[in-house]
Amino acid sequence: MDKFKKRHLTRQIASQIVYISFMDDLMSPWKEILIPLLETQELNMSSLDLDFLTELMNSLQESLSVYQERFDSLMKNGILSLPAIERAILLVSAGEMHLQPSLTKKAVIINEALTLIRDLSEEKNVKFLNAVLDKYALKYAPELIK
């Protein structure tokens, strides 16, 4: 599997981990969610970019509430008004925007998020979420490569 497919799959798995953690009142550590998730999708660890996943999930664990507050400031009804999977995808995208050094271009991060939304949610929300992600990047991650 090439690097770009691994990254895409890793973003998808990260979004699913965040989604599952929303449903889990105990907020299990992400590594406890990963193994059963991979098993249900008949994947193995070599299918993922584990360094990227670890960085991304650590960023989310450290700053999840900050990212949520930032999205709340950009959305009339706040991030909690979105379906859980869309919230998860937005938060994973925000986490990726803040990885240091950010080697991923803003357009790639947003495009990957929109692809995941199309795959895991409803097409009708893509335009709105594209605008939200673009505003987030401009306001909170201006250092991203265009």
Alpha-carbon dihedral sign for residues 33, 107, 87, 83? negative
pLDDT the model gives residue 117:
94
**CATH number for position 25:** 1.10.940.10
Q: Is 129 within the bounds of a domain?
A: yes
Host domain of residue 119: 3-140
Neighbours of 33 (CB within 10 A): 20
The mean of the pLDDT values for the chain is 89
Neighbours of 138 (CB within 10 A): 12
Q: Is 17 within the bounds of a domain?
A: yes
**Number of domains comprising the chain:** 1
pLDDT the model gives residue 25:
59
Which tokens is 40 given?
């249900």
Q: Is 41 within the bounds of a domain?
A: yes
Helix spans in the chain (H)? 3-23, 30-40, 50-74, 84-97, 106-120, 126-140
Please state, for a pLDDT cut of 70, what percent of the chain lies above it: 93
Q: Is 145 within the bounds of a domain?
A: no
For residues 17 and 28, the model is more confident at 17
Q: Give the pTM.
A: 0.90
pLDDT tens profile 41-62: 888 888 899 999 999 999 998 9
pLDDT-derived band at 122, boundaries 50, 70, 90: confident
Please state, for a pLDDT cut of 90, what percent of the chain lies above it: 60
Q: Is 76 within the bounds of a domain?
A: yes
Is the confidence at residue 87, as pLDDT, over 90? Answer: yes
Say if residue 83 is preceded by a cis peptide, omega within 30 of 0.
no
Is the confidence at residue 93, as pLDDT, over 80? Answer: yes
Q: Residue 93 and residue 96: Cα distance in Å, rounded?
A: 5
Q: Is 11 within the bounds of a domain?
A: yes
Q: Is 146 within the bounds of a domain?
A: no
Q: Is 10 within the bounds of a domain?
A: yes
